[in-house]
Amino acid sequence: MGPLAGVVVLDLATLFAGPLAATVLGDYGAEVIKVEHPVRGDPARTHGPAKDGHGLWWKMLGRNKKTITCDLGVPEGAELLLGLAARADVLIENFRPGTLERWGLGPDDLHAVNPRLVIARVTGFGQFGPYARRPGFGTLAEAMSGFAAVTGEPGGPPTLPPFGLADGVAALTCVGAVLMALRHAERTGDGQVVDLAIIEPLVTLLGPQPQAYDQLGTVPERTGNRSVNNAPRNVYRTRDGRWLAVSTSAQAVAERVLRLVGHPEVIGEEWFATGSGRARHADLLDGYVSAWIAERDAAAVVRAFEEAQAAVAPVYDVRDVFDDPQYRALDTVTEVDDPDLGPLRMQNVLFRMSETPGEIRSTGAARGAHNAEVYGRLGLPPGDLDRLHEKGVI
């Protein structure tokens, strides 16, 4: 059943942070009702690769969700949504600020029918401020947060990730916020509004950058795969053409690496005793590590690092993730049965719980597949559902 069994979530959001937050909640037992426009649906259905007309991204993003259709912008649709909200615990939306209010579905309207409701509003820039009404996407957050400015090679352009990093971080942040708000509602009986701007969570992940700028006036530059906090830290090419990542965040690991590659003499240098000191000598240390690795095949390097208890990992693509024995042991990519595509492998639930584990109960369903089931809870007879469908309300 999962730890969130009995929690009802209305997922009104699209592309991608809000829906992914709802997916995670559904993975751990919440009943997630995905509300889509009768015609347009969630654009995630047609984003990315497809097979036989079925969006593969949607199969994962829409998993464990009951799909219904509703035009929230018409009075009958808004009335249906209020009926569902009265029976829900959480509502997740990502419309531009003011949109739900214009439809009579703002927080005041929703809390009038359900004071305990947790309303998570996930937008690019938040609910107020000079940018609040701008269109907002994860790409803009990756640019504005400071992430892209420090990503890429020195002297090269800022680099954006080739996947929804900011959306993913915002989604997991939203999950935490929703659980906190649910805990508050459990204690007090009061719901609340969560205002989550996608531009903000990545700023938290920048570590000490804001403090360093505030106190020291420093602005970090792009360093490629190096780190300003420690060295050696980079990717190195092996004799057989593989790339390996090495990290020496811990002092003891840095010492093991340099002993392994045949240069224990640098360990006694005063500058070697701190990560920042080693980072200032990255050219020297990278040269030592790079030369040693270049003379060996990847398997031999990994074996030697493991024996030395030093940190190394191959640079994987998705094929390697599928084949790796550790990922297989964890069942990180698991096989599920999809009614359209048959056996389908996708990312498993995020973490394992000993007593109340999450699970994938279903893959992303067709638009409106659960209209009769969900709207039936409102006491609507089949004839009324047919009428609303003919009018384009559902």
- Per-residue pLDDT band for 52 (boundaries 50, 70, 90) equals very high
Closest CA to 77 of 375, 377, 379: 375
Catalytic option among 42, 89, 167, 286? 167
Q: How confident is the model at residue 202 (pLDDT cuts 50, 70, 90)?
A: very high
Share of the chain above pLDDT 90, in %: 98
C-alpha atoms less than 13 angstroms from C-alpha of 291 in its C-beta half-sphere = 10
289-344 pLDDT, tens per residue?
999 999 999 999 999 999 999 999 999 999 999 999 999 999 999 999 999 999 99
- DSSP letter for 124, please: S
Q: Does 380 score more than 90 pLDDT?
A: no
Nearest to 146 by CA among 226, 230, 219, 224: 219
Per-residue pLDDT at 1 exceeds 90? no
- For the domain bounded by 234-322, which CATH number is listed? 3.30.1540.10
Res 15 pLDDT > 90:
no
Query: Which pair of tokens denotes residue 194?
Result: 């969560």
Q: Token digits for 385? A: 């559902």
Domain range annotation of the chain: 8-204+332-390, 234-322
Q: Is-catalytic flag, 317?
A: no
In whole angstroms, what is the distance from residue 22 CA to residue 71 CA?
Answer: 20
Q: Is the pLDDT of residue 381 over 90?
A: no
Q: How does pLDDT run across 276-298, given as a tens digit for each residue?
A: 999 999 999 999 999 999 999 99
Share the mean pLDDT of the chain: 96
Instruction: Select from 3.40.640.10, 3.40.50.300, 3.40.50.720, 3.40.50.10540 the CATH code of 8-204+332-390.
Output: 3.40.50.10540
Average pLDDT over residues 187-206: 97
**Rounded Cα gap, residues 180 and 360, in angstroms:** 24
